[in-house]
Every structure is written in structure tokens, then in C-alpha cells.
Structure 1
Amino acid sequence: MKYKNIKEGIFIKRPNRFIAYVEIDGVMEVCHVKNTGRCKELLLPGAVVYVQKSDNPKRKTKFDLISVIKGNRHINMDSQVPNKVVQEWLEKGNLFKDVTLIKPEAKYKNSRFDFYVETKKDKIFIEVKGVTLEKNNIVLFPDAPTERGVRHINELIESLHDGYKAYVIFIIQMKDVDYFTPNSVTHKEFADALKSAHDKGVDILALDCIVGEGFIEIDKQVEVRL
């Protein structure tokens, strides 16, 4: 996926989860943050960030905060991008052969999964999670408790009994990590649900991404440790 109108800036502060103050071309700008997670380890004063200038002149904020440099690593933190790169990846024939249908936002019982996919022989639900939390080269999800995430995993398990295949795909919005593991310290219930799902037949995948100033694309599969 490619972005347009990308500019470099310096992160100043984040007064709430929706906006950040960023210095761009020597001017302090109010930017929309496209990630409502905590991201405290990423958005540090003085960090180099990349923002996208909006084409909409009526918007209150002219820029969206897209990515950040942490050490030597470029991390995309746009929470809308994981679904987009997964759809691109699936459409290129990755993961499944003979795909006949890719439907985003598919309803099943009390959940709305990110994708419903059909091949010539299988019907598949996919839930996608973006990962931006990295500690000591290990990536973790979630960075905050997610009851919604637990519900989705439990309903993926239920879908197996109705004859569907089910996947949870963690999109690691960076490169060169050692492995992925659920963040049991932050949300043990989610970690336990993910392990249970794996044991019952839900496929758990983690995929890293090549990230640049104006693009992100899925690269390789990363080890999952449950």
C-alpha cells in the first residue's frame, strides 16, 4: 500500500488519543492520530514521524500521523492499514489458492469479522490485528485490554463447528523482529483465548511488513509463540 503527500515531522506531544502536536517545516501542527492505542513507547518527544497531508480542505486537522522512527526501525502505526495490506496480499494469491470471493466486514452471529473468503472447497473467516508494540525485538498484542478481541476469537472458534475455517492474522507493522507472542501481562484473557483457539483449530499467523516513508507491504511470516 502506498500513501500520498507524506511529510516528515518531529513529534512534540499527544494531549489525547485522537490528536498529536507535530512540528512540520518549522510550524507546530495539530495532527490526527490514526491509532487510538496507547503507543507510549512510540510517541516520545523528539521522535521523527511521518504524516500524510489531507486532500480535504474542510478537515479540522490537515495531517494524519502515519508512522514513527523508533531507534533504527520504521514503524507504521496506522490502525486502518492492516486490513488494507491483507486484502492486497490475499488478492495476489497468497495464503489461499483458487479464491472465488474476498468479502471485507463479514457478519457472523454477534461479530463482524474482517474478511470472509471462499475458495473452490473452503469457506473461511479471517480476523486481522495490527501490531505496533515491540519490546527487546519481540512483538506483542494487545497493548491495552480488548474485550472485543476476546469475543471475536471465541466466535471464530464457534465458526469451526459450523464448518468454516478460521484465521487470526497479526500484521506486524515493522520489520526484523524475533517473534510474536500474545501480551499476557496486559490482557491474560486475550492470551488464553488465543491459545485455546489454536488448540481447537484456528490458524494463528504473524506477518511482518516492509515499511517506508510512504508505503507498507506484507513481507514474511514470523514465528508465533503462544
Structure 2
Amino acid sequence: MDLNDLGTLEVGRFIKRENRFLGRIVVDGKERSCYIADTGRLRDILVKDREIWVIKNREGLKTDYTLITVNVEGEWVLVNTSLHSNIAYRAIEKGVLGFIPKRIEKEVKFKNSRFDFLVDKNTFVELKGCNLVKGDTGYFPDAPTKRGVKHLRELIEAKEKGYNAVILIMALRDCKYFLPNSETDREFSEMFYKALDKGVNFRGFKIKVEENGKIYFVSTLKLGSI
């Protein structure tokens, strides 16, 4: 995937986050507003004066720009969840689930949820983006997520109804392992391990955003030990 396909990537500087969706930035020496398409806390990422990439919004929108990436100590970190699905789709195409699929469907309804993917008509896949890193381990979530717990519960139900079920973690920063973030959301962590016990599979992969704006699937992600 190439971020340049979204439009012209402009370089700016982050100032502050005013609420979940609104930030203040500087572009070309002028203070502007930006849309933040990631509801996570991002406390280790949205730090004042960090370099950012943004796309200018069309006229009529409430914000001037949309935030795409943040430079965290030399690593470009994607902070736009609207792009996650397309990236994961390509990773699934390349075999991140352990096989090359014949068919991938997006946003497929199951009971009261829509899972991100249905692969080969028999494998439900729910995707989560992981941007909180400590040492060599990535953690999800970085904020409590009732929606995430609901998805895990329904992956278990899909498995019980005869489907294959996968929780797919996409690491947005450099790490080797993944663990559920029990300190932030104990309910999600407990449901994650319950899902594994019930036969839901864990798969993980890591992406890298290059200086030219291209995104690469660089390696798989292992489940860490507690």
C-alpha cells in the first residue's frame, strides 16, 4: 500500500490533542486543525512537536487536515484506523493467516456484529491495530474497549457454530511479541485468553511505513508469555 495514493502527504508538527477526534498542528508555519481517525489514547505517540504527515481536507469539512502518521523516534507510526482494513486485506492475501485464500469478504455480519473479514466462506477474522509498545512487546488495547470484548465473545460463538475464527493483531510499531493489555482492560485480556482456550486462533503481523510513504508487511508477530 502507498500512502501517496491518498493525496499529497504534507509534513507538519503536532501541537496538542483537543479531544478524541480533533488535534492542533502546524503546517507551513501556520496553526491548523486536524482530524484524528484513531480513538485510542495514543499518549506515547501524540507528543508535542513531533513530525507528522497529513493530508489536506476538501473544502467544507470541519478540520483542515487529516492526520496520517507520526514520527516516533525515527519510526513512522500509522495513526489512521480507516486504513487498517485495506492493509490487513493485503496481508491476508499474502498468507498471514497461514494459507493463501481464494476469497476474502469485508465487513460480514454475524449475529449482532460485523467481523472485519470472512475468508473462504468459513473463517471469520477480527482485526485490531496495536500501537502501544513496551520493550519488544506490543499491547492492545491502549484504552478500555467494550466493543473489543464483544468481538471476542462473538468469535467464540462463531467457533462454536462450526466456523474457524481468528483474532488478527496488526502491530503498527516495531515489536516481536503481542500481549493483551490487562492493566488497561482486564475484561478484554480475560476474554482474549478464553477465546484462545475455546479454539479461536491468534495471528499477528507487523507493518512498516517507509520514508517514501509505502507500507510493507514485514514480519509475523508472536504471542508473548505472561
Q: Normalising by structure 1, report the TM-score.
A: 0.91
SS at match of 1:99: coil
List gaps (5 residues or longer) in structure 1. Answer: none
Partner of 1:145: 144
Determine the C-alpha separation between the residues in 1 that align with 2:180 and 2:51: 28
Contact preservation (8 Å) 2:137, 2:224: no
Determine the C-alpha separation between the residues in 1 that align with 2:214 and 2:56: 14
Determine the C-alpha separation between the residues in 2 that align with 1:93 and 1:223: 16
Determine the C-alpha separation between the residues in 1 that align with 2:103 and 2:142: 32
Q: CA deviation at 1:127?
A: 0.1
Contact preservation (8 Å) 2:93, 2:100: no
Q: Over aligned residues, Cα RMSD in angstroms?
A: 1.7
Per-residue CA distance 1:69-108 (angstroms, 9 max, x = gap) = 1223221111122211111222345535463321111111
Contact preservation (8 Å) 1:174, 1:211: no
Instruction: Please point out which of 51, 54, 78 is paired with 1:48.
Output: 51
Distance 1:23 1:127, change over 3 A: same
Instruction: Please point out which of 207, 210, 219 is paired with 2:208.
Output: 210
* Residues matched between the structures, number: 221
Determine the C-alpha separation between the residues in 1 that align with 2:181 and 2:9: 32
Partner of 2:69: 67
Determine the C-alpha separation between the residues in 2 that align with 1:19 and 1:116: 33
Determine the C-alpha separation between the residues in 2 that align with 1:97 and 1:191: 27
Q: Normalising by structure 2, report the TM-score.
A: 0.91
Instruction: Please point out which of 198, 201, 212 is paired with 2:196.
Output: 198
Q: CA deviation at 1:138?
A: 2.1
Instruction: Please point out which of 10, 21, 25 is paired with 2:24.
Output: 21
List gaps (5 residues or longer) in structure 2. Answer: none
Partner of 1:223: 222
Determine the C-alpha separation between the residues in 1 that align with 2:113 and 2:153: 10
Determine the C-alpha separation between the residues in 2 that align with 1:211 and 1:174: 9
Distance 1:164 1:143, change over 3 A: same
SS at match of 1:197: helix
Per-residue CA distance 1:88-138 (angstroms, 9 max, x = gap) = 22234553546332111111111110011116xxx1000000111112332
Instruction: Please point out which of 92, 103, 111 is paired with 2:113.
Output: 111
Contact preservation (8 Å) 2:96, 2:205: no
Partner of 2:38: 35
Contact preservation (8 Å) 1:76, 1:216: no
Q: CA deviation at 1:160?
A: 1.1
Partner of 1:7: 10
